[in-house]
Amino acid sequence: MSDADDPTVLLVDDEPDLLEVYELWLADTCEVRTASGGEEALGVIDEAVDVVFLDRRMPGMAGDELLREFRARGHDPQVAMLTAVDPAADIVDLPFDDYLTKPVSQAELESVIDVLLQRAEYDERSRELFSLASKRAALEASPDIDHHSSTEYQELTEELRTLREEVDESLDDLLEHDYETAFQEI
């Protein structure tokens, strides 16, 4: 059984057997909610949900559409796409935090939850950096993407490089300020 300090995870998939397996795997360490489709997911998500695992292909409302609807309604949990769909260039514009291709193991789910919960503690720019890095990694793992000719991949790589430089510069400024402040107090 989970307790009050456990993260709340929403699993959204139209395959009931998978939902049941994932729920069993996570029940000891998380408060688990499940939804078998987009409309149901919209009815169970709230501010208590920390992490969402979202299938992309579902009847009715596809996962991509559901993700955009979550964001449009102001829901901002960490979202991992958990799908049998190999990533393609269209993922670049989706507001998710990680991408997993089925099948996955219990250890993978638990590890992703831990990583996403850690990322949730970071500032918005750092979270964006991690999201872009996850998208790039998913595209690099896809056999359907030609990294040399994909405009989306090249643009994503450039955006990631620019953001990394901005974050590094901000960290350098912060560390320099903390260093100067520490020596002023001595």
Domains of the chain plus CATH, in order, are 8-184 (3.40.50.2300)
Helices (H) and strands (E) in the chain, counts: 6, 5
pLDDT at res. 152: 86
Most confident of 13-22, 86-95, 119-128: 13-22
pLDDT at res. 175: 62
Q: What is the mean pLDDT of residues 30-52?
A: 96
Give the CA-trace dihedral at 106, 139, 35, 127, to 10 degrees: 90
What is the pTM assigned to this prediction? 0.74
Higher-pLDDT residue of 105, 140: 105
Q: What is the mean pLDDT of residues 54-62?
A: 92
pLDDT at res. 180: 54
Q: Which two tokens stand for residue 11?
A: 């699993």
pLDDT at res. 119: 81
Q: Over 80: is that where the pLDDT of 129 sits?
A: yes
What distance in Å separates the CA atoms of residue 57 and residue 91, rounded to the nearest whole number?
13
Q: Over 90: is that where the pLDDT of 13 sits?
A: yes
Higher-pLDDT residue of 3, 132: 132
Q: What is the mean pLDDT of residues 45-64?
A: 94
